[in-house]
């Protein structure tokens, strides 16, 4: 293969590093790219796109490599990887930060915290800013500070022709709208983001665990009732495992008040672990980040829930958990929304499901390959039921077999997204299994 014109660090199948370089966070993904181009600057990105056009090679874009279904790599594709572009520049005069596309969340959280800032990112330390912000970005500050994407004020993107575009409220406004929630990889290679920031040092971290199967149904009942009129300063994730439920989150206030807000959960019998403490923001982020393994083989997805589920629907969720293939790594996940997310108008960004109360996910992982079919079957059959309760899918918790994926991810926003796709990527250079289609208006 003629690599002339490709710049940055280029890894080919013959290189010793190839097998490591092609690997995504999800070890179940097994793709063989033609080449992986680690870009060090914008010019490397431009060169990679021009090279792919000359060679007739399709591209995939990658930053943190955490896509659930592995759409940031592909067999016989050129992977344009921005993970070496991880600079972060804070401007404390106007409380903003410029973040290069490949920056990973823990690096970002730490850098910002050292200057006294918090950030509404996700919970996994090695997820990169790109995939997270382009799909929305949900975490433990979301109800108070909004989605990650709601803090975005500008992005720089290289389009299919190699032009560097600035997108904000004044330039390329439609593109800027689309970049806030339409998911990564659809319009071009984003090279950097500018966010506005909030100064906060300390928060209350809470973690509650039950080793009691009978707590699970009560937990689900409390969860949905609790979210109805919940203080916007609190955000939480829940997990329902076979042996019992788990709740963790951040409260932007003091522990005494957090305890009052958490009272409906605290009164569920069988709590085996309780921690409600006032900590530095960065310590809370680190404690939660430790949940995640360095890498794992997994199957997971998630859907938006907008209505109260009835008793028999909640019981059915517990039946799904009871059928889980493992006790400690198969769970139904709950991710709180509302607050600052629903306070913004639905059409203010491409993120469509602002009125949802929460996301319900289903997730499981395996260590031995032989266990994979059983685990995948459990996730797929659980998903079928969750599908009937829900209104749409979170593009950052994607699912290969999702019916009518464009409507599922974008609802009524798909019409506008088709026209933006046509404007910025008319030849569909940025195509992958669930990309926004061209020519569908």
Ligand X SMILES: Cc1cc2nc3c(=O)[nH]c(=O)nc-3n(C[C@H](O)[C@H](O)[C@H](O)COP(=O)(O)OP(=O)(O)OC[C@H]3O[C@@H](n4cnc5c(N)ncnc54)[C@H](O)[C@@H]3O)c2cc1C
**Contacts by 284-287, CB closer than 8 A, 24 or more apart:** 284/140, 284/203, 284/205, 284/250, 285/106, 285/109, 285/113, 285/125, 286/106, 286/125, 287/205, 287/207
By the rule CB under 6 A, 190 interacts with ligand X? yes
Q: What is the dihedral of CA 415, 421, 426, 430, to 10 degrees?
A: -130
Closer to ligand X by Cβ: residue 12 or 297: 297
CB of 73 to ligand X, least distance (A): 8
Residues of span 4-33 touching ligand X by CB under 6 A: 25
User: What residue has token string 């996994």?
Assistant: 124
By the rule CB under 6 A, 123 interacts with ligand X? yes
Q: Which range in 181-189, 197-205, 212-220, 308-316 contacts ligand X by CB under 6 A? A: 181-189
CB of 83 to ligand X, least distance (A): 8
CB of 193 to ligand X, least distance (A): 9
Q: Which range in 184-192, 256-264, 346-354, 375-383 contacts ligand X by CB under 6 A? A: 184-192
Q: Which range in 160-168, 183-191, 238-246, 346-354 contacts ligand X by CB under 6 A? A: 183-191
Closer to ligand X by Cβ: residue 318 or 425: 425
Among the listed residues 339, 356, 305, 341, the one whose alpha carbon sits nearest the alpha carbon of residue 230: 339
Q: Between β-strands 189-196 and 152-158, what pairing exists: parallel, antiparallel or unpaired? A: antiparallel
By the rule CB under 6 A, 131 interacts with ligand X? yes
User: Which of 82, 172, 365, 390 forms a contact with ligand X (CB under 6 A)?
Assistant: 82
- Give me the residues paired with residue 251 across strands: 204, 234
Distance CA 33, CA 80 (A): 10
User: Which of 7, 47, 52, 72 forms a contact with ligand X (CB under 6 A)?
Assistant: 72
User: Which of 21, 127, 279, 386 forms a contact with ligand X (CB under 6 A)?
Assistant: 127
Measured CA distances, 423 to 50, 172, 369, 410, 417 (Å) = 19, 11, 43, 18, 10
Residue length, the chain? 441
DSSP letter string, 322-347: HT-S-SSSEEEEEEE--THHHHS-GG
Over the window 30 to 69, marking each residue x when it contacts ligand X by CB under 6 A and - when it does not, the resulting string is ------------------------------xxxxxxxxx-
Over the window 373 to 412, marking each residue x when it contacts ligand X by CB under 6 A and - when it does not, the resulting string is -----------------------x----------------
Tell me the site size for ligand X, rule CB under 6 A. Answer: 33
Residues of span 83-102 touching ligand X by CB under 6 A: 101
Residues of span 250-289 touching ligand X by CB under 6 A: none
User: Which of 21, 138, 234, 402 forms a contact with ligand X (CB under 6 A)?
Assistant: 138
CB of 44 to ligand X, least distance (A): 12
Closer to ligand X by Cβ: residue 122 or 162: 122
Closer to ligand X by Cβ: residue 293 or 311: 293
By the rule CB under 6 A, 124 interacts with ligand X? yes
Residue 83, CB half-sphere, CA atoms under 13 Å: how many?
Answer: 21
**Contacts by 49-54, CB closer than 8 A, 24 or more apart:** 49/80, 49/158, 49/160, 49/161, 49/162, 49/189, 49/429, 50/5, 50/162, 51/3, 51/5, 51/6, 51/78, 52/78, 52/429, 53/160, 53/429, 54/5
- Residue 140 near residue 123, CB atoms below 8 Å: yes
Among the listed residues 111, 109, 107, 105, the one whose alpha carbon sits nearest the alpha carbon of residue 90: 111
User: Which of 135, 146, 249, 392 forms a contact with ligand X (CB under 6 A)?
Assistant: 135
User: Which of 18, 84, 292, 407 forms a contact with ligand X (CB under 6 A)?
Assistant: 292
- Give me the residues paired with residue 99 across strands: 88, 193
Contact residues for ligand X (CB under 6 A)? 25, 60-68, 71-72, 82, 101, 122-124, 127-128, 130-132, 134-135, 137-139, 184-185, 189-190, 292, 396
């Amino acid at each position: 293969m003629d690599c002339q014109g490709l710049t940055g660090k280029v890894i080919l199948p013959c290189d010793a590093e190839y097998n490591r370089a092609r690997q995504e966070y999800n070890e179940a993904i097994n793709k063989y790219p033609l080449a992986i181009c680690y870009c060090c600057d914008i010019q490397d990105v431009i060169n990679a796109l021009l090279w792919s056009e000359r060679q007739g090679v399709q591209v995939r874009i990658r930053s943190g490599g955490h896509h659930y279904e592995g759409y940031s790599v592909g067999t016989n594709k050129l992977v344009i990887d921005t993970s070496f572009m991880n600079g972060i520049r804070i401007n404390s005069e106007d409380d903003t930060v410029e973040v290069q596309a490949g920056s990973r969340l823990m690096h970002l959280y730490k850098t910002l915290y050292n200057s006294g800032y918090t950030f509404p990112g996700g919970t996994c330390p090695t997820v990169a800013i790109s995939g997270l912000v382009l799909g929305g970005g949900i975490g433990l500050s979301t109800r108070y500070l909004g989605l990650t994407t709601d803090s975005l004020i500008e992005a720089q993107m290289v389009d299919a022709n190699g032009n560097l575009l600035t997108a904000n409220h004044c330039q390329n406004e439609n593109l800027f709208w689309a970049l806030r929630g339409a998911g990564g990889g659809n319009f071009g290679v984003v090279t950097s983001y500018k966010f506005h920031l909030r100064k906060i040092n300390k928060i209350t971290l809470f973690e509650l665990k039950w080793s009691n199967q009978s707590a699970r149904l009560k937990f689900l009942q409390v969860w949905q009732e609790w979210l109805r009129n919940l203080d916007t300063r609190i955000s939480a994730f829940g997990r329902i495992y076979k042996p019992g439920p788990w709740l963790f989150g951040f409260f932007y206030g003091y522990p005494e008040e957090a305890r009052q807000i958490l009272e409906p959960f605290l009164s569920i019998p069988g709590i085996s672990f309780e921690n409600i403490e006032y900590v530095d923001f960065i310590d809370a982020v680190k404690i939660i980040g430790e949940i995640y393994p360095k890498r794992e083989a997994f199957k997971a997805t998630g859907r938006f829930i907008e209505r109260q589920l009835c008793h028999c629907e909640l019981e059915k969720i517990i039946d799904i958990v009871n059928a889980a293939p493992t006790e400690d790594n198969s769970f139904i996940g709950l991710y709180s929304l509302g607050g600052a997310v629903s306070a913004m108008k639905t059409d203010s960004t491409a993120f469509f499901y602002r009125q949802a109360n929460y996301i319900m996910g289903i997730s499981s992982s395996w260590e031995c390959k032989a266990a994979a079919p059983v685990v995948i079957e459990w996730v797929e059959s659980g998903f079928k039921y969750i599908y009937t309760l829900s209104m749409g899918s979170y593009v950052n918790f994607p699912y290969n077999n999702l019916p009518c994926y464009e409507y599922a991810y974008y609802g009524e926003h798909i019409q506008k997204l088709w026209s933006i796709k046509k404007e910025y990527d008319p030849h569909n250079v940025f195509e992958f299994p669930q990309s926004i289609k061209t020519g569908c208006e």
